[in-house]
Amino acid sequence: MMRRPRTLLGMVLMGLAFVTVPLLIAIGNAMVKLGQLASESEVVLDHSATATLENQRLANLLERMERTARQYLVVSAVNHLTLYDADQADLEKSLAALRALPSDDEVRNQLARLSTISKDVHRMLRGGANDSAIVERFGMLRDAIRAVENGMRTTTNARLETLQENASSAQQELAWLSAALIPGTVVLIALFLLVVGRPMRQIDRAIRELGEGDFGRPITVSGPHDIETLGRQLEWLRHRLKESTDEKNKFLRHMSHELKTPLANIREGTELLLDGSVGQLDIRQQEVTNILRDNGVKLQKLIENLLTFSAWQTHTAALELSEFELKPMVFSVLSQHRLALSNKKIKLKLAIAAITVHADEGKLRLVVENLLSNAIKFTPSGGSIQIGAGMQDSELVIEVGDSGPGVHPDDGDRIFEAFYQGRRPQGGPVGGTGIGLSVVAECVQAHGGSVELVRDGRPGAHFRVRLPLRRAADKRLRAVANA
């Protein structure tokens, strides 16, 4: 059984081997086939050239030998026999060269016949045979040479046809091999990417969940040893982040609850002073007491934001959906801030539609409270705050704007981060925690909506909340249908 690579590099090299080895084998096979065809072609061409040359030499030798024999028959000079003997020797060399070439039995018989007849002519010249018998023998030699030439041509043509068939067969074999290798290579690459991509996707998902603060899913990464080691380190990091987050939220809950009790006593005492339960207050004392009550309310809102933020961070806050009137809810929030608005002489510009919404009333109230508190904090005395709410394309749109200094250009992308406080100076004696807008973002996102900072050239900060209400409308329609 093949062992799994221990490293990602080993897996990559193994995948590369699986992909390239079949291609290398195919290329090697193609090179061998092409080499064989080239070698066979070279041999056939060489044999064809040799056969043509030797056949031409045979024809020339036969012509010269016949001329020498006829001269000898006329003058009977000994030197003509010497010339004939030399041509006879050259004839035997050409016949030997032709015998060395591939040929069929008919050609070999004709070559043997040529040698026999040429030797008979030699004997007949020395024996004084008559002219007609010698001339007849030369006619037989010419016929044999033509037969050899035709036979060699036939053999060459047959070998060329065989070579062509081999080339076609090799071409077809290479085509089939390519047709099999290309899909096979694609499949191997796809399998390799799947095998390598799976641990990469697991790591990507794990890092994304850690970045989003979701520490509930255990991290398991399968793959080479070094990738699994990285997965175990990510799991260790998840445990550490989870412990740190749990401790932080535990601290926030503990501190918030610890602060609530003395704050409640402070607010109760302030209310007793304002009610005159311990005696009537003069105007200066009432102003101071109002300041105490106003800031007590602010502290209470800060603590509630801390608790809400802690609940969202631990994913324990669930939506409690209900239908309620939007306008009374907004005015209820405004009434809680009437003292702060009055003290800073802030003018309100309201455009609240009388509509019924289906949402978590507590969370939506918290959104409006935090946006309004943020606007009051940054609006200067004598300034103005604009609040608008209504339906727009099946969405609930809530807009809150102020006439304060606005959001610094470098803070626009971070103002919804928890505990981030912008660069603009904050008003009021009680500083913020930097989680008001992050709580707004959490509550809005829980409803499937969005919150954004609108930059449209108007002074101050302008926030827009969008909440989809289509599902609520569908619910009401179903309720009517079932009634």
Least confident of 22-26, 445-449, 478-482: 478-482
Contact 447, 320 (CB under 8 A): no
And the tokens for 209?
A: 């969940």
Same domain, 186 and 323: no
Radius of gyration in angstroms for the set of CA atoms belonging to the chain, rounded to a whole number:
53
Q: Is residue 152 part of a domain?
A: yes
What's the pLDDT score for residue 247? 82
Mean per-residue pLDDT, 469-475? 48
AA letter at 276: G
Distance (Å, rounded) from C-alpha 259 to C-alpha 389? 34
* pLDDT band at residue 473 using 50, 70 and 90 as cut-offs: very low
Q: Is residue 346 part of a domain?
A: yes
Q: What is the secondary structure of 17-79 as a DSSP string?
A: HHHHHHHHHHHHHHHHHHHHHHHHHHHHHHHHHHHHHHHHHHHHHHHHHHHHHHHHHHH--HH
419 three-state secondary structure: coil
Q: Over the chain, what is the mean pLDDT?
A: 79
- C-alpha atoms less than 13 angstroms from C-alpha of 37 in its C-beta half-sphere: 17
Q: Is residue 88 part of a domain?
A: yes
Mean per-residue pLDDT, 355-373? 89
What's the pLDDT score for residue 326? 92
Mean per-residue pLDDT, 377-406? 90
Contact 58, 113 (CB under 8 A): no
With a pLDDT cut of 70, the percent of the chain lying above it is: 88
Bridge partners, 467 (sequence order)? 396
CA distances (Å), 158 to each of 104, 163, 168, in order?
11, 9, 15
Q: Which residues contact 321 (CB under 8 A, 6 or more apart)?
A: 358, 359, 360, 472
Distance (Å, rounded) from C-alpha 402 to C-alpha 337? 15
Domain final residue, candidates 140, 173, 194 = 194
Mean per-residue pLDDT, 422-449? 69
Q: Which residues contact 12 (CB under 8 A, 6 or more apart)?
A: 196
Q: Is residue 241 part of a domain?
A: no
Query: What phi and psi values does residue 314 have, to the nearest 5 degrees?
Result: -90, 5
156-166 b/e with 16+ CB inside 10 Å = b? Answer: beebeeebeee
* pLDDT band at residue 81 using 50, 70 and 90 as cut-offs: confident
pLDDT at 384 over 90: yes
Same domain, 187 and 328: no
Higher pLDDT, 267 or 401: 401
Same domain, 19 and 165: yes
What's the pLDDT score for residue 368? 92
* pLDDT band at residue 1 using 50, 70 and 90 as cut-offs: very low
pLDDT per position as a tens digit, 147-191: 888 888 888 888 888 888 888 887 787 778 777 777 877 877 777
Domain harbouring 449, CATH code:
3.30.565.10
Same domain, 31 and 175: yes
What's the pLDDT score for residue 44? 81
Query: What phi and psi values does residue 132 have, to the nearest 5 degrees?
Result: -65, -40
Same domain, 187 and 333: no
pTM summary value: 0.47
Q: Is residue 16 part of a domain?
A: yes
Domain final residue, candidates 194, 209, 239 = 194
Range of the domain at 376: 318-482
Same domain, 189 and 329: no
425 three-state secondary structure: coil
Distance (Å, rounded) from C-alpha 149 to C-alpha 55? 6
Least confident of 70-79, 358-367, 398-407, 426-435: 426-435
pLDDT at 286 over 70: yes
Number of independent structural domains in the chain = 2
Helix boundaries (H) for 314-337: 326-336
And the tokens for 273?
A: 């002073």
Least confident of 52-56, 78-82, 372-376: 78-82
Contact 147, 108 (CB under 8 A): no
Domain final residue, candidates 194, 217, 246 = 194
pLDDT at 331 over 90: yes
Domain harbouring 113, CATH code:
1.20.120
Contact 148, 105 (CB under 8 A): no
Same domain, 330 and 466: yes
449 three-state secondary structure: coil
Q: Is residue 423 part of a domain?
A: yes
Bridge partners, 360 (sequence order)? 321
Q: Is residue 393 part of a domain?
A: yes
Q: Is residue 132 part of a domain?
A: yes
